[in-house]
Protein backbone atom coordinates (compact mmCIF):
# COMPACT_ATOMS: atom_id res chain seq x y z
CA UNK A 1 0.00 0.00 0.00
CA UNK A 2 1.40 3.40 -0.96
CA UNK A 3 1.51 6.34 1.43
CA UNK A 4 -1.02 8.14 -0.69
CA UNK A 5 -3.51 5.25 -0.63
CA UNK A 6 -3.07 5.00 3.13
CA UNK A 7 -3.67 8.74 3.47
CA UNK A 8 -6.87 8.58 1.38
CA UNK A 9 -8.27 5.69 3.48
CA UNK A 10 -7.27 7.44 6.69
CA UNK A 11 -9.04 10.66 5.73
CA UNK A 12 -12.15 8.74 4.68
CA UNK A 13 -12.22 6.74 7.92
CA UNK A 14 -11.66 9.82 10.05
CA UNK A 15 -14.34 11.75 8.21
CA UNK A 16 -16.93 8.99 8.64
CA UNK A 17 -16.06 7.62 12.05
CA UNK A 18 -14.65 10.46 14.12
CA UNK A 19 -17.89 10.43 16.13
CA UNK A 20 -17.03 7.09 17.68
CA UNK A 21 -13.50 8.22 18.49
CA UNK A 22 -14.93 11.26 20.29
CA UNK A 23 -17.17 8.99 22.37
CA UNK A 24 -14.12 6.99 23.47
CA UNK A 25 -12.23 10.21 24.24
CA UNK A 26 -15.03 11.46 26.48
CA UNK A 27 -15.26 8.13 28.28
CA UNK A 28 -11.52 7.71 28.88
CA UNK A 29 -10.07 11.21 29.18
CA UNK A 30 -11.57 13.98 31.26
CA UNK A 31 -9.65 17.18 30.66
CA UNK A 32 -9.14 18.85 27.28
CA UNK A 33 -5.40 18.19 27.43
CA UNK A 34 -5.91 14.49 28.18
CA UNK A 35 -8.46 14.18 25.40
CA UNK A 36 -6.03 15.76 22.97
CA UNK A 37 -3.27 13.42 24.13
CA UNK A 38 -5.43 10.31 23.81
CA UNK A 39 -6.75 11.49 20.43
CA UNK A 40 -3.16 11.65 19.16
CA UNK A 41 -2.47 8.11 20.37
CA UNK A 42 -5.64 6.74 18.78
CA UNK A 43 -5.04 8.53 15.49
CA UNK A 44 -1.51 7.14 15.24
CA UNK A 45 -2.72 3.60 15.96
CA UNK A 46 -5.57 3.89 13.44
CA UNK A 47 -3.07 5.11 10.84
CA UNK A 48 -0.72 2.17 11.52
CA UNK A 49 -3.61 -0.30 11.45
CA UNK A 50 -4.75 0.57 7.91
CA UNK A 51 -2.44 -1.90 6.05
CA UNK A 52 -3.60 -4.72 8.40
CA UNK A 53 -7.30 -4.14 7.64
CA UNK A 54 -8.58 -7.15 5.63
CA UNK A 55 -12.27 -6.20 5.38
CA UNK A 56 -13.25 -9.27 7.45
CA UNK A 57 -15.04 -6.90 9.81
CA UNK A 58 -16.87 -3.60 9.36
CA UNK A 59 -14.71 -0.47 9.44
CA UNK A 60 -16.65 0.72 12.51
CA UNK A 61 -15.78 -2.49 14.38
CA UNK A 62 -12.15 -2.23 13.32
CA UNK A 63 -11.76 1.39 14.42
CA UNK A 64 -13.59 0.68 17.68
CA UNK A 65 -11.24 -2.20 18.35
CA UNK A 66 -8.09 -0.19 17.65
CA UNK A 67 -9.33 2.88 19.56
CA UNK A 68 -10.49 0.94 22.61
CA UNK A 69 -7.28 -1.07 22.82
CA UNK A 70 -5.33 2.18 22.67
CA UNK A 71 -7.53 3.91 25.25
CA UNK A 72 -7.29 1.03 27.70
CA UNK A 73 -3.50 1.11 27.66
CA UNK A 74 -3.34 4.88 27.65
CA UNK A 75 -2.58 6.73 30.84
CA UNK A 76 -1.32 10.21 31.48
CA UNK A 77 1.82 8.64 32.95
CA UNK A 78 2.81 7.56 29.45
CA UNK A 79 3.45 11.23 28.71
CA UNK A 80 6.51 11.16 30.97
CA UNK A 81 8.23 8.64 28.74
CA UNK A 82 7.22 9.98 25.35
CA UNK A 83 9.64 11.88 23.20
CA UNK A 84 9.36 15.65 23.03
CA UNK A 85 7.33 16.76 20.04
CA UNK A 86 8.25 19.44 17.59
CA UNK A 87 6.53 22.78 18.09
CA UNK A 88 4.26 22.09 15.12
CA UNK A 89 2.97 18.86 16.62
CA UNK A 90 2.39 20.42 20.02
CA UNK A 91 -0.48 22.45 18.54
CA UNK A 92 -3.74 21.12 19.93
CA UNK A 93 -5.49 18.74 17.57
CA UNK A 94 -8.94 19.18 19.08
CA UNK A 95 -10.46 22.61 19.26
CA UNK A 96 -13.22 23.96 21.46
CA UNK A 97 -16.74 23.72 20.09
CA UNK A 98 -19.79 25.67 21.25
CA UNK A 99 -22.22 22.77 20.74
CA UNK A 100 -24.93 22.58 23.42
CA UNK A 101 -24.53 19.25 25.23
CA UNK A 102 -27.45 17.42 26.85
CA UNK A 103 -27.00 17.49 30.63
CA UNK A 104 -28.18 13.89 30.99
CA UNK A 105 -25.64 12.79 28.41
CA UNK A 106 -22.88 14.55 30.36
CA UNK A 107 -24.06 12.73 33.48
CA UNK A 108 -23.99 9.40 31.60
CA UNK A 109 -20.42 10.04 30.43
CA UNK A 110 -19.40 10.91 33.98
CA UNK A 111 -20.82 7.64 35.22
CA UNK A 112 -19.09 5.68 32.44
CA UNK A 113 -15.86 7.45 33.32
CA UNK A 114 -16.17 6.20 36.91
CA UNK A 115 -16.13 2.55 35.75
CA UNK A 116 -12.80 0.74 35.38
CA UNK A 117 -11.10 0.69 31.98
CA UNK A 118 -12.48 -2.71 30.95
CA UNK A 119 -16.08 -1.99 32.01
CA UNK A 120 -15.94 1.37 30.24
CA UNK A 121 -15.16 -0.29 26.93
CA UNK A 122 -17.95 -2.88 27.42
CA UNK A 123 -20.42 -0.08 28.22
CA UNK A 124 -19.48 1.85 25.08
CA UNK A 125 -19.84 -1.24 22.91
CA UNK A 126 -23.18 -2.07 24.54
CA UNK A 127 -24.59 1.44 24.08
CA UNK A 128 -23.38 1.52 20.49
CA UNK A 129 -25.35 -1.63 19.73
CA UNK A 130 -22.65 -4.28 19.31
CA UNK A 131 -23.82 -7.87 19.76
CA UNK A 132 -22.48 -10.14 22.51
CA UNK A 133 -20.70 -12.13 19.84
CA UNK A 134 -18.96 -9.05 18.43
CA UNK A 135 -18.04 -7.86 21.91
CA UNK A 136 -16.66 -11.28 22.86
CA UNK A 137 -14.50 -11.28 19.74
CA UNK A 138 -13.24 -7.74 20.35
CA UNK A 139 -12.46 -8.38 24.01
CA UNK A 140 -11.12 -11.91 23.66
CA UNK A 141 -13.48 -13.37 26.29
CA UNK A 142 -16.49 -15.70 26.07
CA UNK A 143 -20.01 -14.50 25.17
CA UNK A 144 -21.32 -15.76 28.51
CA UNK A 145 -18.68 -13.73 30.31
CA UNK A 146 -19.68 -10.67 28.31
CA UNK A 147 -23.25 -11.33 29.46
CA UNK A 148 -22.21 -11.51 33.12
CA UNK A 149 -20.26 -8.26 32.88
CA UNK A 150 -23.10 -6.48 31.04
CA UNK A 151 -25.71 -7.51 33.62
CA UNK A 152 -23.54 -6.11 36.39
CA UNK A 153 -22.86 -2.87 34.50
CA UNK A 154 -26.55 -2.39 33.65
CA UNK A 155 -27.58 -2.86 37.29
CA UNK A 156 -24.90 -0.39 38.37
CA UNK A 157 -25.94 2.26 35.84
CA UNK A 158 -29.65 1.87 36.58
CA UNK A 159 -28.99 2.24 40.32
CA UNK A 160 -26.94 5.39 39.70
CA UNK A 161 -29.64 6.80 37.41
CA UNK A 162 -32.26 6.35 40.14
CA UNK A 163 -30.16 8.54 42.46
CA UNK A 164 -29.80 11.04 39.63
CA UNK A 165 -33.60 11.09 39.18
CA UNK A 166 -34.14 11.34 42.93
CA UNK A 167 -32.01 14.45 43.22
CA UNK A 168 -34.08 15.90 40.36
CA UNK A 169 -31.10 17.15 38.41
For the segment 38-77, give every residue that binds other proteins (CB under 8 A): 39-40, 43-45, 47-49, 52-54, 56, 65-66, 68-69, 72-73, 75, 77
Of 135, 151, 152, the C-alpha closest to 68 is 135
Per-residue exposure over 91-110, b if at least 16 CB sit within 10 Å of its own CB, e if not: eeeeeeeeeeeeeeeeebee
Is residue 9 involved in binding other proteins (CB under 8 A)?
no
For the bound state, the minimum distance from the C-beta of residue 40 to other proteins, rounded and expressed in Å, comes to 6
For the bound state, the minimum distance from the C-beta of residue 150 to other proteins, rounded and expressed in Å, comes to 10
Give the C-alpha separation, 108 to 102, whole Å: 10
Give the C-alpha separation, 7 to 113, whole Å: 32
Residues 4, 100, 140, 167: which binds other proteins (CB under 8 A)?
Answer: 140
Residue 36 burial (CB count, 10 A): 17
Site map (CB under 8 A) of other proteins, residues 70-109, x = contact = --xx-x-x---xxx-xx-xx-xxxxxxx-x--x-xx--x-
For the bound state, the minimum distance from the C-beta of residue 58 to other proteins, rounded and expressed in Å, comes to 13
Is residue 116 involved in binding other proteins (CB under 8 A)?
yes
For the bound state, the minimum distance from the C-beta of residue 107 to other proteins, rounded and expressed in Å, comes to 8
For the bound state, the minimum distance from the C-beta of residue 97 to other proteins, rounded and expressed in Å, comes to 6
Of 145, 129, 125, the C-alpha closest to 69 is 125
Is residue 12 involved in binding other proteins (CB under 8 A)?
no
Give Cα 80 to chain centroid, integer Å.
22
Find out whether 109 and 35 touch, Cβ atoms under 8 Å: no
- Judged by beta carbon, residue 131 or residue 145, the one nearer other proteins is 145
Amino acid sequence: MTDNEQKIIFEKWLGQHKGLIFKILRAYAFTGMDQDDLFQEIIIQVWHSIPSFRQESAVTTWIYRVALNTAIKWTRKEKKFSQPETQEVVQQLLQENKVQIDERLSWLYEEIHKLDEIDRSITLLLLDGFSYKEMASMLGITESNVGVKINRIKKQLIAKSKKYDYHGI
